[in-house]
């Protein structure tokens, strides 16, 4: 009995070591994939700055999640405007993507995607898609999006309890949808949602 104990202990130690090796390998693979995804941006950029404080760089997490939103935007099939969003939990452990597109199971044919009136009536926006995908309480979460949210999306975000919104500034887009974006600003302000726009500088 005594002679068998060391053998059993050695076997257990070997199994534990193997499990740790497998676990560490999986973590490294996932972590590597995540970082590669974060850095796979469609645009080369030197920095993202807050336009109200020209030249002041934002924190690394804001930069990463805005970069991820840009990558997610490429999943959209909308030929006119591709919007990407990522919804992030307060501890940054959950990241949920969303992009503008037709509802699940609905054919996204070229004819439909080129029909502006059809798209306006049927397409789900990136922010709304991210919230629907979450399927859980997102109160206090942060939304990172490639464009300023419209009035409808802002209403959904306010109702869902989103605590902050970061978006990339786009003057042409903001001029085109000025009325809707002004309404969005009013809703965000009244609901106490922190909103911050960041201008993209090419480098």
pLDDT of residue 99: 97
Query: In this structure, what token pair is assigned to residue 21?
Result: 């090796």
pLDDT surpasses 90 at 11: no
pLDDT of residue 56: 55
Closest CA to 165 of 137, 146, 178, 190: 146
Query: In this structure, what token pair is assigned to residue 48?
Result: 């993202």
Specify the higher pLDDT residue, 57 or 184: 184
The active-site residue, picked from 127, 174, 190, 196, is 127
- Cα–Cα distance, 1 to 180 (Å, whole number): 79
DSSP state at residue 52: G
pLDDT of residue 192: 98
- Cα–Cα distance, 126 to 99 (Å, whole number): 4
Please answer whether residues 99 and 85 qualify as being in contact, where contact means their C-beta atoms are separated by less than 8 angstroms.
yes
* Confidence label for 199 from pLDDT (cuts 50, 70 and 90): confident
Interhelix angle 126-134/60-73, rounded to 10 degrees, is 100
Instruction: Give me the residue label for tokens 């939990």.
Output: 89
Q: In what order do the strands lie in the sheet with 84-88?
A: 45-49, 194-202, 164-168, 142-145, 84-88, 95-99
Instruction: Give me the residue label for tokens 């950029």.
Output: 45
* CA triple 111-113-114, angle to 5 deg: 65
**Beta strand ranges found along 17-176 (DSSP E):** 45-49, 84-88, 95-99, 142-145, 164-168
Number of neighbouring beta carbons within 10 Å of residue 85: 30
Interhelix angle 151-160/178-191, rounded to 10 degrees, is 20
Q: What is the separation, in whole angstroms, between the first and last Cα of the chain? A: 71
Please answer whether residues 37 and 31 qualify as being in contact, where contact means their C-beta atoms are separated by less than 8 angstroms.
no
pLDDT surpasses 50 at 28: no
pLDDT of residue 201: 59
Residue 196 among the catalytic residues: no
Q: What is the pLDDT of residues 116-167, one digit of tens each?
A: 999 999 999 999 999 999 999 999 999 999 999 999 999 999 999 999 999 9
Mean pLDDT of all residues in 23-38:
40
């Amino acid at each position: 009995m005594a002679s068998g104990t060391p053998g059993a202990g050695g076997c257990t130690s070997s199994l534990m070591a193997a499990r740790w090796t497998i676990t560490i390998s999986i973590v490294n693979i996932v972590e590597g994939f995540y970082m590669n995804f974060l850095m796979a941006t469609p645009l080369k950029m030197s920095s993202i700055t807050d336009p109200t404080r020209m030249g002041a760089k934002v924190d690394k997490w804001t930069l990463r999640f805005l970069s991820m939103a840009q990558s997610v935007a490429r999943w959209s099939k909308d030929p006119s405007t591709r919007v990407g969003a990522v919804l992030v939990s307060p501890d940054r452990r959950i990241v949920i993507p969303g992009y503008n597109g037709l509802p699940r199971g609905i054919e996204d044919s070229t004819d439909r995607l080129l029909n502006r009136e059809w798209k306006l009536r049927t397409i789900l926006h990136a922010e709304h898609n991210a919230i629907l995908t979450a399927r859980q309480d997102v109160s206090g979460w942060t939304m990172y999006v490639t464009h300023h949210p419209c009035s409808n999306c802002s209403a959904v975000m306010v109702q869902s309890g989103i605590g902050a919104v970061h978006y990339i500034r786009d003057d042409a887009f903001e001029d085109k949808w000025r009325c809707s974006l002004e309404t969005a600003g009013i809703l965000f302000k009244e609901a106490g949602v922190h909103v911050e726009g960041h201008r993209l500088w090419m480098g």
